[in-house]
Structure formats: structure tokens, C-alpha cells
Amino acid sequence: MLVIFTDLDGTLLEQGTCSWASARPALRRLARLQVPLVFCSSKTRAEIVFWRRRMGNGHPFVSENGGGVFMPPGVFPGLEGLPRIGGLATIAFGSPYAQLRLEFVRLRRQLGVAVRGFGDMTVPEVGAMTGLSLFQARLARQRDFDEPFVFQGSGRERFLRAIEASGRNWTRGELYHFLGDHDKGRAVGVLLEHYRAGNGLRGRREDPVVSAALGDGLNDLPMLRSVDRPFLVARPGGGHAAGVNFPGLVRTRGAGPVGWNEAVMALLDEFAAGKAARARGSRP
């Protein structure tokens, strides 16, 4: 059984336009093969719900850099005791956003660093800074577990060190993010445990779970390290994210959804060839 985890911005979704047209061949093939495609993004729950509906995706997902894991009913056994948000069984790893905002503002005041988070910005400001439409910017401000932020002057290293000293964490995708004790890798690990436990959910014996992940930024590093087949998607104009490098990592030639489609198609070809070889080997 193959399970694929994917970042959205700059990976499955083209930076700036949010188009996934170049990834449609691989998306159609995944749907036909019933391969779970798990969105694992810095986006909020509200944003990911929107994109799942647009793409017809009914699989679990991970929001805000691993802050929350959300699972539809019937996907895994044993979820009855978990809290529900929007009808989805929920595991929250992140600290509440209101608490993070208080700490973020306190650090900023103590250090005198010019830094602004989404909580300081209006919807039009978030839209102008990120390139999102006003509708998408409104969804992006509905934070549960982390605070995106930008620097507007000096003091960057001092502020990041202060976050670490406070017991909180930071990461960086297109923006910096202030967050608690969570990351994408931890969330991916929990979901893989559920996929392994529910592998025979349809009443038949399945192959062992093989995991893959695609991302394009430093905040994707924990996710990429947590899977069997990690892919780093190129950025527009060529090149790959700095600081994301470890044995076994595969870099795509294409950027955004072009590179995403390239990697997933190659992975599915390889997976199909492996299954065919095993089937031939099992014949008497």
C-alpha cells in the first residue's frame, strides 16, 4: 500500500496562481489507483478544507505545519473517542493560537524587534503580502496552531533565538512561523501508524505501507525525513530550498506542480513495476 503526503504552496499548487493544472495527470492516476494523498501544509484547516473540496480529496490532512491532524469518519478504525471538528476526528499537537499570540507579542515588546504576524494584519494586508485573494486571505487568518510572521527591520537572529529560548519553535516556508512543540514529521508519523493499523480495513490482506512525501521548503524537512521516499520539489527559476539535504532525498527537475507530477508519475511507475515483479515471483 502506497501513501503519499504532500505540501501545497509551491509544491502541488503553483506559487502565485495556486494552479494545479500541471499535476492533473498524476492526480487522476492516484484517484484511479485509490492511493491516499494526504495534504500536509502550513495552511489552516479552513484553507485545506477548501482545497480538498476543489480537488475532490477525501483523505486525512495535516494543518499548520503539523499542528493538527484531521481524519474523516470511516478511514481508520478506533477513532470514536477523538474530538470532532467539522465532523473530522482531530488530534491537536499545537498550542492554542490565542496563547501563541500572547507570547509572540510579549517577545516582540521585550526585544523591541519590528516583526508583524497575521494577527496584526487585516485581511487585505495578508492578501497583498501573500498574493492570496481576499477570500483565501480570510481563510489564512483563521489560525489554530501557529502564527506566520515577517520582519520589518533588524533583529531577525535575536528574535529567532528568543523563540527557541522561550521553549517555542519556529520554521520557515514562504514565511516564518511561530509554533509550539510540533512539526510535519510528528503528524506524518501518527498518520502512518493509523494507516498501518487500518491496512486491512477493506477486509483483505494488503502489502506493507510504503510512504512518500513531496515538499519544497525548510518546513517540509521533518515530513521528508519521516517517509520512505522523500522528494524535494524545485522552486520557480530552478534551484531547491537551502538546508534541505540528506541521503535518499530526490530532487525534481520541474518546479511546483510540474515537478510534483514528474515525481509522482515516476513513483507510481516504480511502484507498479515492483508489484508486477512480486506477482511474477509468487507464481508457481
CATH number of the domain residue 104 falls in = 3.30.980.20
Same domain, 203 and 155: no
Q: C-alpha angle with apex 276: 270 to 280, nearest 5 degrees?
A: 145
Same domain, 268 and 187: yes
Rounded CA separation 220/68 (Å): 15
Q: How many domains does the chain have?
A: 2
Rounded CA separation 129/43 (Å): 15
Same domain, 187 and 223: yes
Q: Give the chain's length.
A: 284
Boundary of a domain, candidates 117, 152, 179: 179
Same domain, 194 and 149: no
- Provide the grid cell at 185: 514529521
- For residue 126, the enclosing domain spans 97-179
Residue 50: Cβ within 10 Å count: 15
Same domain, 101 and 86: no
Could you read off the pLDDT of 203-225 as tens digits, one per residue? 444 678 999 999 999 999 999 99
Could you read off the pLDDT of 183-198 as tens digits, one per residue? 999 999 999 999 998 7
Same domain, 196 and 125: no
**173 versus 204: which is more confidently predicted?**
173
Average pLDDT of the residues of the chain: 91
Boundary of a domain, candidates 164, 179, 194: 179
Rounded CA separation 57/74 (Å): 15
Boundary of a domain, candidates 157, 179, 201: 179
Over residues 150-174, the mean pLDDT reads: 92
Q: The domain that contains 244 carries what CATH number?
A: 3.40.50.1000
Write down the pLDDT at residue 283. 58
Same domain, 272 and 234: yes
Could you read off the pLDDT of 61-74 as tens digits, one per residue? 999 999 999 999 88
Same domain, 121 and 245: no
Active site residue 7: yes
